[in-house]
Structure formats: C-alpha cells, structure tokens
Amino acid sequence: TWQGRDQGGRHLESPVLIYQALYDVVTAAHGNAAMDRMLDIDNARSVSEYLLHSTRTSFTDIIQLMHYPDYDSYTVGHSVRVATLSVHLGEKMGLDDEQLLALGTAGLLHDVGKSKIPDEILFKPGRLDKEEFTIMQSHARVGAEILMEHKTATPLDVSAAWGHHLRHDGGGYPARPPWAVRDNVTKLLQVCDVFEALTAIRPYKAPMTPHQAFEIMLGDEGAFDPAVLTTFIRTLGLYPPGNQVRLSDGSHAVVVAAGTDVLRPLVELTADADGQPVPESEDNLINLDDEEQQELSVTELLLETGAS
C-alpha cells in the first residue's frame, strides 16, 4: 500500500522528507502524551509504512541523515533511529511485511513514557542518583499505561513499551512477573535500543564506535538474545551503512551495506586520496568482499564526534 505520499499529499521519496515524517510523528506522540492528550496511533502506523519502504530503498541515506548531534530532542531522534534499525534488522531476520510494519510502529512509540519524565532527569548530563534512576526507569511502565488507554494501540505496541529494557536473563526493568514472556519484537527492539544509546552523539559523552558498542554488548553476558545480537552485528558489520570511512589507499567512502565479512563492506567512493570529491559514477561502488578488491581495506571509521 506504499503510495509515496504523506497525509498532506507530499511526495515522500526523498529521505529528508521521510525522516521528517518519522520525526514529526514521534514529536507529536510525545507532545500529546505529555499533555495527557490522545495519541494518533494510526498516523504512526501509516508513517511506519514509509519507514519500511525507505529502509528497503534507501537505508543508507536515512541512517546517514539520522547521524547528527540533535542535542535538544534526542529522545525523538533516538526513537526514530531505534525504529529504523529494528525494521532493518527485522527484515534480515525474516519478518514478513505485516510484522515489520508492526515493529516500526512499536519502535516509534516505545519510549513514549519518557514524555512523563521531568526534563531535569531526562536531560541530566551526569549520572542519575538512585531516586532519579527509579523515576527514569518508570518510563517503560508509564509508556505501556499510556498506550493501553488507546483502542488503536496493539498488544505489541504495549509490550514493546513495557518490555524494551528487560534483559534476556530476566533482569532489567520493570520487575518481570514469572509468567511474562518477552516477544521476539521486544528482543529486537532491546538490542537496537542499547546499540543506539551507546553510539549516539550526546552532549555529555563521546559516541562509541560500533565496534566498541558491539564489544560492550557481547561482554554483557545474559543481556541479549544471542541469536538476535549475532544477526544484528552481522547486519550492520563493524562499519555500518551510512558511516564515512578511510580506505587503505587514502580515499574516502561511505558505507552502503555490510559484507559477508564484517570488516569488508560495500562502499561508495566520495573523495580521492587528496580529499577531492569524486564525480558521481557507477564505478564508485566498491565491494570490498570481492576477490579483486582484496588489496583494498577500510583503515578508519570517520566518526562525527559532535564536538566542534
């Protein structure tokens, strides 16, 4: 049912407009929840369709657009990025379209409970004390409660909001009654949520490289469903799509897709060794996984630090 237009009839082929539509829907949901107004969940669902379409056609462009420091609104940016990563991962894990649409919607709304957390806690630059942390943790339960008031919210939307901080080993929060089972979608969101938080550009911390984030996640035994985490790392690779890299011949490129080898993605050249932009051409696409490209490799991930 993808029609390439938003509710105002604007064409949503451009990644910028799709990003804007995702961003708007999360901003509206959080704004309405903060004011105790009803959320437009149907709208979130239709935007999730754009998200599915765009992850298929232009995941690199979208995820690249998202990788900038958004200091004022990072709970919104976070939800958009988590939703995008989860749909991308869900597709690699073999979910069908209906499941992917549901996943995208749940991803966009999963942190809606944060709209009830006071700004002093939400945006506190340092470590939260015990009491503040308890308040912060309540966003999972509160988000589920907000969504339960909506007839249009699905059980999946509710369970994603409630359970996205639950660990594979039963830890995390909220306290899990013994009969509660994490559904697959929530497991997937949890992995994307932690990865996004570790690699995000925030005012109070330097972003981790994907490699560092994977190391921490792999080292946190029992935190994640092992199959989901493994697929996630394979899907993104150590140089995830959308990132700028330096190649061993000095040229710069943007990563387009992960390769079968996590170190050897498909890249598109952007600048030569002297820093001169290369003209657009199909020849710029280099699959480092190819036999004849074995002498070329990625030497550095060029991360934006957000510091200027």
Q: What does the binding site for Fe ion look like in residue numbers (CB under 5 A)? A: 111
State the catalytic residues: 114
CB of 165 to Fe ion, least distance (A): 6
CA–CA separation, 289 and 273 (whole Å): 21
- Residue 136 CB, nearest distance to Fe ion (Å)? 9
For residues 304 and 69, the answer to whether their CB atoms sit within 8 Å is: yes
3-state class of 106 per DSSP? helix
Give whichever of 70 and 111 is closer to Fe ion, judged by the CB atom: 111
Asked, as a colleague might, if the bond just before 118 is cis with ω within 30 of 0, I would say no
Output the smallest distance, CB 204 to Fe ion, in A: 17
Helices within the chain (DSSP H only) = 15-34, 41-66, 74-92, 97-109, 119-122, 130-148, 155-163, 184-199, 210-219, 226-236
Radius of gyration of the CA atoms of the chain, in A: 20
Nearer to Fe ion, 82 or 95 (CB): 82
- DSSP state at residue 227: H
Residue with tokens 């998200």: 51
User: Of 49 and 111, which CB lies nearer to Fe ion in the complex structure?
Assistant: 111
Cβ 13 to Fe ion shortest distance, Å: 31
Q: Which residue, judged by CB position, is nearest to Fe ion in the bound state?
A: 111
Which is closer to Fe ion, CB of 112 or CB of 238? 112
